[in-house]
């Protein structure tokens, strides 16, 4: 099973790993680990087998993951296609609650016309949407709450 983003939490920081052990730990090919060494992952010495300290591996993976991270400013949503945070087209977004405290903001990207997303808590909703119009959909009425029977009902 190929892993795209190895989890640094799987690494024991007080242990030394060989290239093969790291490949087995993350379920990746050993040439991927060798590529990391060429890209700057430090080894303990220049002898064979290459040993990589656990805390060095964790720091390398966290730095690698963090360099591509882009945080959204207030009013911005992340467009996956453009790979950057942007202000929504027309300054409009839709809010859909996921739980009682958290929901998703969705809007249209002004450049590629695809959907953009942002997870936001209800407590921070006012701060996030400063100059944005957003709609909160209302829940539909349940059938037990309606006074009128359905058309297909046999009741008179």
**Mean pLDDT confidence for 44-50:** 88
Residue whose tokens read 């903001």: 105
pTM: 0.56
Sheet holding 115-121, edge to edge: 84-86, 77-79, 115-121, 102-108, 92-97, 133-135
Residue 118 domain flag: yes
What is the rounded distance in angstroms from the CA atom of residue 95 to the CA atom of residue 61? Answer: 34
* Residue-range definition of the domain harbouring residue 15: 8-67
Residue 142 pLDDT greater than 90, yes or no: no
What is the rounded distance in angstroms from the CA atom of residue 104 to the CA atom of residue 121? Answer: 8
Residues 6+ apart with CB under 8 A from 38: none
Residues 32 and 58 in one domain: yes
Q: What is the pLDDT of residues 69-110, one digit of tens each?
A: 778 888 888 888 988 888 898 888 888 888 888 888 889 999
Residue 2 domain flag: no
Residues 93 and 60 in one domain: no
Q: Give me the pLDDT at residue 96, please.
A: 85
Residue 143 domain flag: no
CA distances from 53 to 37, 58, 101, 154 (A): 12, 9, 41, 75
Residues 110 and 61 in one domain: no
Residues 86 and 53 in one domain: no
Kindly report the CATH number assigned to the domain that includes residue 60: 1.10.10.10
β pairing state of 115-121 and 52-53: unpaired
CB-side neighbour CA atoms (13 Å) of 132: 27
Residue 53 domain flag: yes
Percent of the residues in the chain that have a pLDDT greater than 90, as a whole number: 37
Residues 92 and 126 in one domain: yes
Instruction: Compute the mean pLDDT over every residue in the chain, rounded to the nearest whole number.
Output: 84
Residues 13 and 42 in one domain: yes
pLDDT confidence band for 138 (50 / 70 / 90): low
Residues 55 and 19 in one domain: yes
Question: CA nearest 27: which of 5, 45, 58?
Answer: 5
pLDDT confidence band for 15 (50 / 70 / 90): very high
Residues 106 and 55 in one domain: no
Residue 34 domain flag: yes
**Six-digit token pair at 109?**
């990207």
Residue 1 domain flag: no
pLDDT confidence band for 128 (50 / 70 / 90): low
The residue that leads in pLDDT, 26 or 69, is: 26
> End of a domain among 48, 67, 86?
67
Residue 145 domain flag: no
The domain tally of the chain equals 2
CA angle 136, 142, 148 (to 5 degrees): 125
Residues 53 and 87 in one domain: no
The residue that leads in pLDDT, 81 or 134, is: 81
Residue 98 domain flag: yes
What is the rounded distance in angstroms from the CA atom of residue 65 to the CA atom of residue 26? Answer: 15
Q: Give me the pLDDT at residue 83, please.
A: 84
């Amino acid at each position: 099973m190929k892993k795209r983003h190895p989890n640094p939490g799987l690494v024991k920081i007080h242990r030394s790993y060989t290239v093969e052990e790291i490949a087995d730990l993350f379920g990746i090919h050993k040439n991927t680990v060798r590529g990391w060494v060429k890209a700057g992952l430090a080894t303990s010495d220049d002898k064979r087998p290459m040993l990589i300290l656990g805390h060095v591996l964790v720091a390398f993976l966290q730095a690698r993951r963090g360099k591509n991270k882009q945080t959204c400013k207030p009013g911005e949503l992340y467009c996956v296609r453009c790979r950057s945070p942007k202000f929504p087209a027309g300054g409009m977004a839709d809010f859909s609650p996921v739980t009682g405290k958290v929901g998703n903001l969705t809007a249209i990207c002004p450049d590629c016309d695809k959907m953009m997303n942002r997870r936001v808590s209800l407590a921070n909703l006012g701060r996030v949407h400063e100059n944005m119009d957003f709609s909160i959909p209302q829940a539909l009425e349940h059938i037990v709450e309606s006074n009128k029977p359905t058309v297909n009902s046999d009741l008179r």
